[in-house]
Amino acid sequence: MNPSTRTELRRLPQRGSREWRTIIRILDAGFLAHVGFCIDTQPFVIPTLYGRNGDKLYLHGSAASRMLRELEHGIAACVTVTLVDGLVAARSAFHHSMNYRSAVAFGTARKIADPGQKVECLRVISEHLIAGRWTGVREPSKQELDATTVLEFTIQEASAKARMGPPVDDEHDYELPVWAGVIPLEMRAKPPVPDEKLMERVVLPECIRRFAARFSAE
């Protein structure tokens, strides 16, 4: 990937990185992306799930999706993933902030037409969300595949940015009798809720247990 001014970090560049390992750690930790693109000068930003394989992100949805129909033509797009780790309460209103990790990727997408490739891309998305789930469920039928569009988004360049740590106040504000600190935030999973129509004697699969444990409180 050859970086350009698109991924140049102008404000607080010390918080940023173009290192690929840093970027993929953020992409792999998240699963919800916001995809930005423009149609006839009108910008759109759409949330969607994704999966990653190398420098490719896989997106999917209904064949009637406007976002997917537009992106499959190879228009320029931006995919952003943000993980919020905490709210930062400072002694002044101006210095309140947020602890976060984010990745911004620029590139173009192409439509996956081959049925075998589509199934593999859907598997990548499924495994990115819940590792091990794909092997325990029915694979898509031909009718379901026909109703689904799958795109392969190639990351041409990307950057990451993060903030961590306590508030940074003006020196004279440290003498104010105002509470300051960090309110940590994290994604947490509640106990899985079985479907009311679940067949008898169907047990909770290990992949669901692992996912729930991943986001449970320690």
- Please state, rounded to an integer, the average pLDDT across all residues of the chain: 92
Domain assignment present for residue 193? The answer is no
* Mean pLDDT in residue range 87-100: 97
Domain assignment present for residue 192? The answer is no
For residue 60, with 0-12 CB atoms within 10 Å meaning exposed, 13-18 middle and 19 or more buried, which class applies? buried
CB half-sphere exposure, 16, CA atoms < 13 A: 12
- The boundaries of the domain holding residue 64 are 5-187
Domain assignment present for residue 201? The answer is no
Give the global pTM.
0.89
Kind and range of the H or E run holding 163: strand 148-163
Q: For residue range 112-167, what is the model confidence (pLDDT) as tens digits?
A: 999 999 999 999 999 999 999 999 999 999 999 999 999 999 999 999 999 999 99
Domain assignment present for residue 216? The answer is no
What is the CATH classification number for the domain harbouring 183? 2.30.110.10
Domain assignment present for residue 99? The answer is yes
Rounded-to-10 torsion of CA 215, 17, 60, 216: 0
Domain count, the chain: 1
The CB density around residue 48, as the number of other CB atoms within 10 Å, is 19
Domain assignment present for residue 182? The answer is yes
